[in-house]
A and B are shown apart, each in its own frame.
Chain A
Amino acid sequence: MMAATDTLAAPPRAATRPTPAIRRRRRPGIGNVVWGVVAWLVGILFFFPVLWMVLSSFKTEAAAYTNVPQFVFSPTLAEYRHVFSSGVGSYFLNSAIATVVSVVAVLLLGTPAAFALSLRPIKKTSDALFFFLSTKMLPIVAAIIPLFVAAEAVHMLDNVWTLVILYTAMNLPIAVWMMRSFLLEVPSELLEAAEMDGARLWRSLREVILPVVSPGLAATALICAIFAWNEFFFAVNITAARAATVPVFLVGFISSQGLYWAQLAAAATIATLPVVLAGWVAQRQLVRGLSFGAIK
């Protein structure tokens, strides 16, 4: 009887509820607002140094050097003009070549390998996989001397193609693991269906598998590009004036120009911008790449 009364009484009560409460089952409590504010504050705190760098790059040198940080100033592009006139172009070109060519090479080498390790597993698959992974954790300092000596022996010091080779090797393990994790999500029936339809392996790869994994291919390329673009250790040790990349330019800029913060901020902002933008766009793929595909 009680239950019956309750159900009868319910409809009118529900009807008098304000509309938003019906749409959203739980209104964001005061707790959530507090947490939101905390999150925003922390976010701004973490972002502040970057913001400061960008702001400083629009200041004059005098405005950048103040004991009391200035947030209000009249912006100028003078420092950017200065940086561009200091020949940053060739460094950008070197970085671009090293990045683009090494990424293409990584995809060309890594995709078939990932394929062999996922869709058609071979014997010792996991051994091969862990071999790739283990190369990534070896300290590169321990390899730099022979690499330096070898590059010198074949007259490839200060040569952007040496960087291409090194960056390809550096990024291959990430690419293999990452591509494999994308390929594992492709149902094996798809390849079987193509095979039954009479397609040879290469044909089914190109026509069936590749279109399915192309987003993964793009994500892999992006991650490898970020690593190549930001790489400093190889670049500083085996390049000089001719093949130096953007990070080396930044370092060189300090020594040749002295510590002029506004100017440096402009240079650093330019150097950083491509990767930050790319990373913002591809946040989800970032996790996947950094975790070698372990996290979806």
Chain B
Amino acid sequence: MADVCYDEATCIYAGADRPAVDALNLDIKDGEFVVLVGPSGSGKSTALRMLAGLEEIDAGSIRIGGRDMVGVPSRDRDIAMVFQNYALYPNKTVAENMGFSLKMHGVSKEERQRRVREAARLLDLEPLLGRKPKHLSGGQRQRVAMGRAIVREPQVFCMDEPLSNLDAKLRVQTRTQIAALQRRLGVTTVYVTHDQVEAMTMGDRVAVLRDGRLQQFATPGELYDRPVNLFVAGFIGSPAMNQLNVDVDAGALRVGETVVPLSAAQATAVAGLSRVTLGVRPEHLSVGGGELKLQVDLVEELGSDSYVYGHLVAEPDTSLVARAGRGRFRMGETVGIGFDPGQLHLFHPDSGERLGP
């Protein structure tokens, strides 16, 4: 087990005009579960494959347990990887798949069998040990891929969207199982996903990537509470955070006819700006209790509660979504919206960077 450190790590594919991963810095602690998240094409897989030794590190370095990995082939890195399509060896049984790396490392047959059986027990794979991958269900294959990784007791687990080939229900189930397993084994894990819910629920810390650049590397709570820019703010949370361009007026915000007061720290942060981008999560808007008038366009009933989509009466171009209790509002209705001043996010109107605390 070891810590992992990306130090200005960069990967440029031949013929590409910009790096797929651009000067990435990440300090991953021993035993930590880190999730790389971002939209498709943001360089998550590339970053992971650089760690695994499957892509070259064109600049900077990656260290595992303090050892520089530049030029070190995969097989000498003591890393296990779970691939999106599992990459099980089709001609080998489950047991042989799981034992292959041990065999390659010259582990004795008895020891191999013992460790394979142990891993199989952990993952409920014992009855399947003699089967070939093509006779397994998707979920079982996924577990075999996990088993192949854990049986090696490597320094680091790499997982590239390991759940994306499962159906929604199984995905949620397996998500918690993987997280629990990792905590139990305590192996440093780098996990790639495009699904922010997966990232938030599984990671000790989450790194948000965009276009090969690290946007923010923080705990899920921090990402949710203090996104560093509009991109992270919009990416984390569902439905996405509302973004309104509003005027700043004497240490307060003016939204339509309504004045939203700011805290002292916030007021300091917006000093000198005439407009800012205001971010409010749907769950932090109170529906029915405020002065800001919202015309309801659509109500999404989720059972437990509902989301109200609408536009401001004063500024018809501005749309908002707010969470409300169930069944209280109807389409076409005009309702009052209230802000909680403690749950506002302010961003620079041009750069999108966070302003204030």
Given contacts A190-B89, A212-B90, contact A195 B83 (CB under 8 A): no
Most B CB contacts (10 A, CB to CB) among A192, A195, A197, A211 go to: A197
B100 touches A195 (CB 8 A): no
A interface footprint on B88-112 (CB within 8 Å = 1, 0 otherwise)? 0111000000001100110000000
In the complex, the answer to whether B104 meets A199 with C-beta atoms within 8 Å is yes
Interface residues of A (CB under 8 A from B): 187, 189-190, 192-200, 203, 207-208, 211-212
* Further 5 A-B residue pairs, CB within 8 A, beyond A195-B75, A197-B100: A189-B85, A192-B83, A193-B87, A208-B89, A211-B91
Contacts of A192 in B (CB 8 A): 52, 54, 74, 81, 83, 87
Known: A192-B74, A192-B87, A193-B81. A198 touches B105 (CB 8 A): yes
Q: Closest residue to A193 on the B side, CB-wise? A: B87
Contacts of A196 in B (CB 8 A): 52-54, 74-75, 79-81, 101
The smallest C-beta distance from A205 to any residue of chain B, in angstroms, reads 13
Complex Cα spacing A196 to B152, Å:
11
* Cβ–Cβ < 8 Å partners of A212 in chain B: 90-91
Q: Cβ of A197: which chain B residues have Cβ within 8 Å of it?
A: 75, 100-101, 104, 148, 152
The chain A residue with its CB closest to the CB of B80 is A196
The distance from the CB of A124 to the nearest CB of chain B, in whole angstroms, is: 13
B160 nearest in chain A by CB position: A189
Secondary structure call for the B interface? loop
Minimum Cβ distance to chain A for residue B100 (Å): 5
Contact B100 A199 (CB under 8 A): yes
Across the interface, do A189 and B105 meet the contact criterion of CB distance under 8 Å?
A: no
Residues of chain A within 8 A of B75, CB atoms compared = 195-200
Give Cα A196–Cα B105 distance, bound, in whole angstroms.
Answer: 11
Size of the B side of the interface (Cβ < 8 Å), in residues, is 22
> Could you say which residues of chain A place their CB within 8 Å of the CB of B80?
196
The distance in angstroms between the C-alpha atoms of A189 and B91, with both chains bound, is 15
The answer, yes or no, to whether B73 is at the interface (CB within 8 Å) is: yes
Closest B-chain residue to A123, C-beta based? B14
Are B89 and A195 interface neighbours, CB within 8 A? no
A–B pairs, 7, beta carbons within 8 Å? A187-B85, A189-B87, A192-B54, A193-B81, A197-B104, A199-B104, A203-B104
Binding site for A on B (CB under 8 A): 52-54, 73-75, 79-81, 83-85, 87, 89-91, 100-101, 104-105, 148, 152
Chain B residues with CB below 8 A from A200, complex form: 75
Contacting residues, chain B, for A207 (C-beta < 8 A): 89, 100
Closest to B101 in A: A197
- The smallest C-beta distance from B119 to any residue of chain A, in angstroms, reads 14
**Alpha-carbon distance between A198 and B75 when the two chains are bound, in angstroms:** 4
Identity of the chain A residue whose Cβ is nearest the Cβ of B49 in the assembled complex: A192
Residue among A189, A194, A211 making CB contact with B100, cutoff 8 Å: A194
A59 to chain B, nearest CB (A): 51
Residues of B with C-beta under 8 A to A187: 85, 87
Chain A residues near B54 (CB, 8 Å)? 192, 195-196
Q: Counting chain B CB atoms within 10 Å of each CB, which of A196, A198, A211 scores highest?
A: A196
Q: Which residue of A lies closest to B158 (CB)?
A: A196
A190 vs B87: C-alpha distance when bound (angstroms) = 5
**A189 to B45, alpha carbons, bound, how many Å?**
13
Q: Residue of B at shortest CB range from A214?
A: B91
Residues from chain B with a CB closer than 8 A to the CB of A208 are 89, 91
Chain A contacts of B83 at CB under 8 A?
Answer: 189, 192-193
Q: Is the CB of A198 within 8 A of B104?
A: yes
User: Using Cβ atoms and an 8 Å threshold, which residues of chain A touch B85?
Assistant: 187, 189
Most A CB within 10 A of own CB, among B85, B91, B105: B91
CB-based contact B87/A195 at 8 Å: no
A207 to B91 alpha-carbon distance, docked (Å): 9
Shortest Cβ-Cβ A-B pairs, 7 listed: A197-B101, A211-B91, A189-B87, A198-B104, A193-B87, A198-B75, A189-B83
- Chain B residues within an 8 Å CB radius of A198: 75, 101, 104-105
By a CB distance below 8 angstroms, the chain A residues around B84 are 189
Question: Interface centre among A195, A198, A199, A212, by most B CB within 10 Å?
Answer: A198
CB proximity of A185 to chain B, nearest CB, Å: 12
* B226 CB, nearest partner CB in chain A, Å: 37
- Expressed in whole angstroms, the minimum distance between the Cβ of B267 and any Cβ of chain A is 54
Residues of A within 8 Å of B74, CB to CB, are 192, 195-196
Residues of B within 8 A of A211 (CB): 90-91
Taking the nearest CB of chain B, how far is it from the CB of A202, in angstroms?
Answer: 12
Report the separation of the CA atoms of residues A199 and B97 in the bound assembly, to the nearest whole angstrom: 13
